[in-house]
């Protein structure tokens, strides 16, 4: 789907063998964070002109390993060699000087500064009395031409799209003459088309002699774009192979350590309408409204998937259904009753359960305990509070039941939520939401940063909730997730939704077109996909 | 209309510029610290230490300019202390800053009492004298205003231009601004966030101390306990008013000083009709109003107050 596999493309990387010296060598790298072994005796080689995929579930130690290489962390033991020379530990400056560039998953850019400022930072002596922006501009535009990474050098970072910001990150590395480029989850924030473009650029770089490591947990990308892949699990290298000689199934088993848990999907049932959004408009401060005459119909027993590139109004839709914003226009009807004054409490009272995208920001209070976080929506109910005094005994026994029922792994209910893994945090939020038996469930990016096991768990919970008769609005940027779980899919573009299409009737390419706004009518898009598939 | 005639007097404008001088230096100092991402609530105490250090140096027989340098040095030392706690140990900037203020202010008074245990009237030094450069007097109105000022006021005005140039036109300034916006970006480009923030806080604190030194070495000629009198806190508000920009900081300082000068004149002219406390309050009320108007859309440094810890994200 993302172009032919690298091994078939021919080119310099095909005939590499053990005779060429590796450009990068990690040997015996071990790093522990307290009792957790993030990396254990990891040995890894990168050959010149090679595209290496570093694969593993969340928490497998991929990012830690690359952060050690780049000098953000210092390893407890082990060595890093770049172009045959030992790299001093804990110094990004030394890594940059040795020709290693890193594109971080969370971009390291300053929003209120220009592209040029971000690129130039650290490239001139701090004691220099002036900045040579002219020369820097020439050099930067030269690099943009050479690699097809176009972005306005005078633009402020905050005005750029996520894809453009990533280009700036890559340009930062190229500007410093990186010979080895490391990309941490580079496609996590991109549309399928943007991702395809990124890999084309990376291939171009490899053809010009650079070597690339990209971190991912998406098997599709590994199979389509890499020459070789290394799988990490629990901080150890468990599998290593040329991409042409392995399969997605083999890689998946290596990542998880067993067969992937499957979600069972009940037969779709025709429910009655429970949520109705009619021409909802939310005007922001900008010129264009954030939500623009949005219509949405949700029936019970169904999961409605909302796709789209981030920033097209998904956040506002989520806030709307959470009661955090009040629409300027249009109406919201739940169970045939119009919601007159939306507020979080009103939405709860209407039976809306909310799973927000930012788990530690809006979902949970990280420094408070599991018990307290599980109690936030019920502590004022008569069962748990009398005359304003909380009944901790009842709350604790409820919390213990939920912890058991939802398999939340924590030492006790008095543990601060901060110490839980992402998967367990999400289970906690699901426990809080589903224990209230909501009839409408809003879920925003529910599997962001979760490993395969936790993802399957979340999906199963959503499917079960729908089977019990709830309607689920699933906002996600992960198309595979939508295609796998949702019954119908609508695509969000510039604040409004496309007409719904059955999930069984579309594919990634069709959704990708809708996401880029290139087709007004979803039928046309599905028509195109049907033709191209044929 | 009579009451507003002072706007036409050069004396009024001279007073405004004189009163603005310590504010300009203090605000610039605070601005540098905050641009690097460190709030420095030590400013009130550091200004007091600057008052004391500059005066003591001259009282002990040193000359005026080395006295200014000595005050800057003492300020930088307190800045280093602030940076050790807030930058290197990542402790609360509020708590540390208030601690520095109490420490520096008390230490200054303590040293003063140790030196002069029994002085009833504070001893005087010979302060900076008003400048009279030959060419300046020929400029019509501006010349008249500038000519009455001392050298430290010129230093303060020059500092606005220098700080502005360094922040926006040099690699070091870019690094400082970036450290206040996104320290991870600084780290990822191979620079040390710790070093940049430490140097910025030290430089800023040195400027604050010179602002304090102006009080004992130009505005007055002796040291009084508590003579900074809240100017440091005003500087912190002025930084917000200025949206973290040196040029606007100059404007804000002049505006506040002008209110202060008006307050004094009006108080003299209006007699006993209104209690004098009302006039004393005026500059603060006006500055609060101006602050509300000006800072509504201010883009503060994103990483202000957030300590950077290596190996965390």
Q: Report d(CA B25, CA B154) in Å as an integer.
A: 11
What per-residue confidence (pLDDT) applies to A195? 86
Average pLDDT over residues B28-55: 97
B169 touches chain A (CB under 8 A): yes
Q: Label residue B280 by pLDDT band (50, 70, 90).
A: confident
Contact B190 A96 (CB under 8 A): yes
Alpha helix (H) residue ranges in chain B? 10-35, 43-59, 64-83, 93-115, 141-147, 151-169, 171-181, 183-188, 193-214, 231-241, 246-269, 276-295
Chain A residue with CA closest to B199: the answer is: A126
Between residues A301 and B292, the one the model is more confident about: A301
Q: Report d(CA A183, CA A102) in Å as an integer.
A: 6
**Dihedral-angle region of residue A489 (phi above 0 means left; psi in -120 to 50 means alpha; beta otherwise):** beta
Contact B191 A128 (CB under 8 A): no
What per-residue confidence (pLDDT) applies to A518? 67
Q: Label residue B30 by pLDDT band (50, 70, 90).
A: very high
Contact A113 B310 (CB under 8 A): no
Q: Report d(CA B205, CA A225) in Å as an integer.
A: 53
Average pLDDT over residues B100-107: 96
CA distance B183 to chain A (A): 8
CA torsion through residues B288, B290, B292, B296, sign: negative
What per-residue confidence (pLDDT) applies to A259? 65
In degrees and rounded to multiples of 5, residue A455 shows phi and psi of: -60, -45
The number of domains in chain B is: 1
What digits encode the pLDDT tens for the residues B151-183?
999 999 999 999 999 999 999 999 999 999 999
Q: Among 3.60.20.10, 3.40.630.30, 1.20.1250.20, 3.40.50.300, what is the CATH number of A6-99+179-256?
A: 3.40.50.300
B113 touches chain A (CB under 8 A): no
Q: Which candidate from B178, B187, B190 shows the least CB-CB separation from A110?
A: B178
Q: Has residue B224 been placed in a domain?
A: yes
Q: Give the CA count within 13 Å in the CB-facing half-sphere of A49.
A: 15
Q: Which candidate from A96, A108, A126 shows the least CB-CB separation from B172?
A: A126
CB–CB contacts below 8 A, A to B: 88
Average pLDDT over residues B135-144: 73
Residues of B in contact with A131 (CB under 8 A): 169-171, 174
**Best CA proximity match to A173, nearest among B294, B183, B40, B188:** B188
Q: Give the CA count within 13 Å in the CB-facing half-sphere of A99.
A: 16
What per-residue confidence (pLDDT) applies to A7? 42
Q: Has residue B202 been placed in a domain?
A: yes
Least confident piece of the model among A402-406, B216-220, B268-272: B268-272
Length of chain B: 313
Specify the residue for token string 């009518």.
A521
Q: Which candidate from A74, A91, A112 shows the least CB-CB separation from B181?
A: A112
Q: Are B27 and B242 within 8 A, CB to CB?
A: yes
Q: Are A487 and A302 within 8 A, CB to CB?
A: yes
Q: Which candidate from A92, A94, A111 shows the least CB-CB separation from B188?
A: A92
Burial B103-135 (b: 16+ CB within 10 A, else e): bbbebbbeebeeeeeeeeebeebebbeeeeeee
B121 touches chain A (CB under 8 A): no
**Rounded alpha-carbon distances, angstroms, from residue B170 to B55, B173, B200:** 34, 5, 14
**DSSP H/E element including A215:** strand A211-216
Q: Which candidate from A74, A113, A124 shows the least CB-CB separation from B171?
A: A124
What per-residue confidence (pLDDT) applies to A534? 30
Residues of B in contact with A122 (CB under 8 A): 175, 186, 189-191
Output the pTM of the full model: 0.80
Q: Among 3.20.20.140, 3.30.70.260, 3.40.50.300, 3.40.228.10, what is the CATH number of A260-351+438-534?
A: 3.40.50.300
CA distance A529 to chain B (A): 41
A131 touches chain B (CB under 8 A): yes
Contact A74 B311 (CB under 8 A): yes
A468 touches chain B (CB under 8 A): no
What per-residue confidence (pLDDT) applies to A1? 40
Length of chain A: 534
B170 CA to centre of own chain: 23
Domain extent, residue B212, equals 12-117+133-230
In degrees and rounded to multiples of 5, residue B37 shows phi and psi of: 100, 10
Identify any residues that bridge with A489 across adjacent strands, giving them in sequence order. A305, A501
A92-121 residues touching B, CB cutoff 8 A: 92-97, 102, 104, 106, 108-113, 117-118, 120-121
- pLDDT in tens for each of the 534 residues of chain A? 444 444 444 444 444 444 578 999 999 999 988 777 889 999 999 999 999 999 987 778 888 899 999 999 999 999 999 999 999 988 999 999 999 999 988 889 998 899 999 999 999 999 999 999 999 999 999 999 999 898 999 999 988 888 889 999 999 999 999 999 999 988 877 777 788 889 999 999 999 999 999 998 888 889 989 999 999 988 899 999 999 999 888 888 888 777 666 666 666 677 899 999 999 999 877 678 889 999 999 999 999 999 988 778 898 999 999 999 999 999 999 999 999 889 999 999 999 999 998 888 888 998 899 999 999 888 888 889 888 888 989 999 999 999 999 988 888 899 898 888 788 899 999 999 999 899 999 999 898 877 777 888 899 999 999 999 999 999 998 888 898 899 999 999 888 899 898 888 888 888 888 887 765 444 443 433 333 333
Q: Has residue B258 been placed in a domain?
A: no
Q: Report d(CA A210, CA A50) in Å as an integer.
A: 8
Q: Which candidate from B170, B188, B191 shows the least CB-CB separation from A102?
A: B188
Q: Report d(CA B238, CA B79) in Å as an integer.
A: 20
The full set of domain ranges for chain A reads: 6-99+179-256, 106-162, 260-351+438-534
Mean pLDDT across chain B, nearest whole number? 89
ipTM for the assembly: 0.88
Q: Has residue B93 been placed in a domain?
A: yes
What per-residue confidence (pLDDT) applies to A399? 94
Q: Has residue B308 been placed in a domain?
A: no
Contact A108 B185 (CB under 8 A): yes
């Amino acid at each position: 789907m993302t172009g032919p596999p690298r091994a078939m493309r021919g080119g310099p990387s095909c005939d590499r063998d053990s005779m060429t010296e590796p450009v990068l060598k990690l040997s015996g790298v071990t790093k522990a964070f307290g009792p957790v072994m993030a990396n254990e005796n990891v040995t890894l080689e990168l050959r010149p002109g090679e595209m290496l995929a570093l694969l593993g579930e969340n928490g497998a130690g991929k990012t830690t390993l690359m952060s050690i290489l780049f000098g953000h962390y210092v390893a407890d033991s082990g060595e890093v060699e770049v172009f045959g020379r030992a790299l001093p530990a804990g110094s990004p400056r030394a890594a940059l000087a040795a020709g290693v560039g890193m594109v971080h998953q969370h971009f390291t850019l300053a929003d209120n500064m220009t592209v040029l400022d971000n690129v130039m930072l650290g490239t001139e002596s701090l004691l220099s009395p002036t900045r040579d922006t002219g020369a820097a501009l020439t050099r930067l535009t030269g690099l943009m031409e050479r690699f097809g990474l176009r972005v306005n050098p005078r633009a402020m970072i905050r005005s750029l799209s996520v894809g453009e910001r990533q280009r700036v990150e890559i340009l930062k590395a190229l500007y410093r003459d990186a010979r080895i480029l490391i990309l941490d989850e580079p496609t996590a924030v991109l549309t399928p088309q943007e991702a395809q473009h990124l890999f084309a650029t990376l291939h171009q770089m490899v053809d010009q002699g650079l070597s690339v490591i990209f971190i991912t947990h998406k098997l599709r990308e590994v199979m389509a774009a890499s020459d070789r892949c290394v799988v990490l699990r629990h901080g150890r290298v468990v599998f290593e192979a040329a991409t042409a000689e392995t399969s997605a199934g083999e890689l998946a088993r290596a990542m998880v350590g067993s067969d992937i848990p499957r979600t069972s999907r009940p037969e779709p049932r025709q429910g009655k309408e429970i949520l109705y959004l009619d021409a909802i408009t939310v005007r922001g401060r900008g010129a264009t409204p954030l939500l623009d005459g949005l219509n949405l119909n949700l029936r019970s027993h169904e999961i409605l998937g909302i796709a789209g590139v981030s920033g097209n109004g998904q956040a506002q839709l989520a806030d709307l259904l959470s009661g955090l914003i009040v629409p300027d226009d249009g109406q919201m009807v739940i169970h045939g009753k119009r919601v007159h004054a939306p507020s979080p409490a009103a939405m709860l009272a209407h039976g809306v359960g909310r799973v927000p995208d930012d788990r530690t920001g809006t979902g949970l209070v990280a420094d408070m305990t599991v018990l307290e976080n599980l109690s936030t929506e019920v502590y004022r109910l008569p069962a748990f509070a009398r005359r304003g005094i909380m009944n901790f005994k009842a709350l604790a026994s409820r919390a213990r039941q939920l912890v058991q029922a939802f398999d939340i792994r924590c030492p006790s209910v008095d543990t601060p939520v901060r110490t839980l893994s992402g998967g367990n945090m999400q289970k906690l939020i699901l426990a809080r939401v589903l224990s209230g038996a909501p009839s409408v469930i809003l879920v925003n990016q529910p599997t962001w940063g979760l490993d395969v096991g936790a993802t399957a768990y979340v999906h199963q919970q959503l499917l079960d909730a729908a089977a019990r008769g709830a309607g689920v609005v699933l906002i996600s940027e992960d198309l595979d997730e939508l295609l796998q779980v949702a019954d119908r899919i609508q695509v969000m573009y510039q604040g409004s939704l496309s007409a719904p299409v059955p999930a069984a009737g579309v594919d990634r390419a069709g959704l990708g077109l809708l996401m880029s706004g290139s087709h007004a009518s979803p039928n046309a898009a599905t028509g195109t996909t049907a033709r191209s598939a044929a | 209309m009579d009451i507003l005639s002072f706007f036409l007097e050069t004396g009024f404008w001279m007073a405004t510029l004189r009163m603005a001088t310590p504010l300009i230096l203090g605000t610039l100092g605070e601005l540098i610290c905050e641009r690097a991402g460190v709030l420095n609530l030590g400013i009130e105490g550091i200004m007091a230490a600057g008052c004391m250090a500059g005066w003591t140096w001259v009282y002990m027989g040193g000359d005026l300019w080395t006295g200014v340098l000595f005050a800057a040095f003492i300020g930088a030392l307190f800045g280093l202390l602030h940076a050790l706690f807030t930058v290197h140990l990542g402790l609360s900037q509020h708590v540390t800053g208030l601690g520095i203020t109490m420490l520096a202010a008390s230490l200054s008074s303590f040293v003063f009492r140790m030196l002069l245990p029994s002085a009833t009237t504070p001893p005087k030094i010979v302060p900076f004298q008003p400048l009279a450069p030959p060419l300046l007097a020929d400029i019509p109105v501006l010349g008249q205003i500038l000519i009455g000022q001392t050298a430290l006021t010129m230093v303060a005005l020059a500092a606005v231009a220098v700080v502005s140039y360094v922040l926006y036109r040099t690699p070091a300034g870019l690094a400082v601004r970036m450290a206040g916006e996104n320290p991870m970006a600084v780290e990822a480009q191979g620079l040390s966030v710790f070093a940049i923030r430490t140097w910025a806080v030290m430089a800023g604190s040195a400027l604050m101390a010179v602002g304090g030194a102006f009080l004992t070495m130009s505005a007055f000629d002796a040291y009084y306990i508590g003579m900074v009198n809240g100017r440091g806190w005003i500087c912190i508000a002025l930084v917000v008013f200025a949206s973290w920009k040196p040029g606007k900081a100059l404007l804000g300082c002049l505006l506040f000083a002008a209110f202060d000068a008006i307050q004094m004149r009006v108080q003299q002219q209006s007699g006993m009709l209104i209690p004098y406390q009302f006039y004393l309050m005026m500059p603060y009320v006006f500055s609060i109003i101006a602050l509300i108007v000006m800072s509504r859309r201010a883009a503060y440094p994103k990483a202000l107050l957030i300590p950077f810890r290596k190996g965390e994200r």
